[in-house]
Amino acid sequence: MRASLLPYWRLLRAGIREQSTYRLAALGGLVANATFGFLKVAVLFATVRAAGGDLNGYDLGAMSAYIWLSQGLLGSVNLHGRSDFAERIKDGSVAVDFLRPLDVQAASIVQEVGRSLWSLVPRGIPSVLIGGLVVGMTMPTSPGPYLLGAVSLLIGITIGAAVVYLVATAGFWMVETRGLQILYMVVSGFLAGLFVPIALFPGWLLVLAQATPFPSMMMYPIDILSGRVTGAAALGLTAAQLGWLAALGLAGHLLTRAGRHKLEVQGG
C-alpha cells in the first residue's frame, strides 16, 4: 500500500516545486489578487453600509474576511479551467501517460493540487495579510475553525482539480475545448462565490448553486475558516464536500476509461 502511494506523493511534491519556480508569475498573481480585492471591498462594503451595517449576517468585518479569504484562494482553487492535462490530450502526449503504471486521473489531480498548495505561500497568505493589515477583518479566536477550515480547504482545492480534470476529458471527443473551459470559468467563479458570497443570492439561485460542486471549492472553506459556520453545520459542509469529491472522482474515472477506449479504437 505504502509503496503504491509513493509515486503520487512524489508527484505532489513535483507540482509544488514546479510552481515555486514561477516567481514573477506569483508576484503578478498577488498584484491581481490585491487589485480585485480592493475593488471588491469598495463595492461590497458599500452594499453592507447601504443595508444598514448588516447584510444577511455579514457586517463589515465578516465581509472583509470573506473578501480577502476568497482573494487568497483565487490562485489555489482552479476557477479558470485550464490544466496541463487538457494540453496533454490536445498535443497527444496523453498516450504516454496511459503507458505508465499510474492512475492517470489520480496523478493529474495530485500534481494540480501540489501546484495549488504552493500558490498559498506567495499569493494566498500575503493576500489575506494585505487585507488584514490595510482593511481589517474579523477572524475566529479559537483554533477549531482553523483546523477544520484547513481540512475543508484541502478538500476544496482537490475538488477544483477534479472538476477541471473532468472538463479536460472533453478533449478526448472534441477538437477544441476552449469554449468549454471559458464556460467553466464563468459559471464556476460565480457559483463558487468569488464575486458575491452565495448567502446573498436570491433563494432560487442559492439552491441552484448548492446543487453544483462549485461552492464546495471556495465558499464552504471560507465559511468555515472565517467562523461564519461552526459546529455541526461546519461538519455538515465538510461532509457535503467529501460527497462531491467522491462523485467527481467516480465520474472522472469513468470518463478516463471511455476516453482511453476512444484513443485505442480510433487513435488520437
Partner 1 sequence: MADLAPYRAVLASRIRSQRSYRANFRIDLISSFMVGLVELAEVWVLFHNVHSLGGFTFAQILLVFGLADVAFSLADLAFGHCDNLPTYIRAGKLDVFYLRPQPLLLQLITSDISLRRLARVLVGVVCVVAGLAVNDIAWSASTVLLLVVSLVSGFAIFSAMFVWAAGAQFFLINGAEMTNAFVYGGRYAATQPAAVWNRPLKVVFGFFFPMAFTGYLPTLEILGLPGPEWLPAWLAWCTPLAAVWAWAMAMLFWRIGVRHYQGGGG
Q: How far is the CB of 128 from partner 1 (least distance, A)?
A: 17
- Residues in 217-236 at the binding interface with partner 1, rule: CB under 8 A: none
143 vs 203, beta carbon nearer partner 1: 203
- Cα dist from 114 to 15, 107, 166, whole Å: 4, 11, 18
Binds partner 1 by CB under 8 A, chosen from 1, 3, 96, 175: 175
Phi, psi of 193 (to 5 degrees): 85, 35
Backbone angles phi and psi of 55, in degrees to 5: -120, 100
Closest distance of CB 158 from partner 1, Å: 23
Asked if 133 touches partner 1 (CB under 8 A), the answer is no
Reference 220, options 157, 142, 162, 129; nearest CA is 157
Q: Is 200 in the site for partner 1 (CB under 8 A)?
A: yes
* Number of residues in contact with partner 1 under rule CB under 8 A: 41
Q: Does 207 bind partner 1 (CB under 8 A)?
A: no
Please select the residue that binds partner 1; options are 182, 211, 239, 258, rule is CB under 8 A: 182
Stretch that binds partner 1, among 50-58, 111-119, 221-229, 234-242 (CB under 8 A): 50-58
Q: Does 138 bind partner 1 (CB under 8 A)?
A: no
Query: Exposure of 166 by Cβ count < 10 A (0-12 exposed, 13-18 middle, 19+ buried)?
Result: middle
E strands of the chain, at which residues? none
Least distance to partner 1, CB of residue 34, Å: 8
Q: How far is CA 50 from CA 55, 110, 111, 228, 240, in A?
A: 9, 44, 44, 21, 33
Q: Which residues contact 266 (CB under 8 A, 6 or more apart)?
A: none
Does 36 contact partner 1 by CB under 8 A? yes
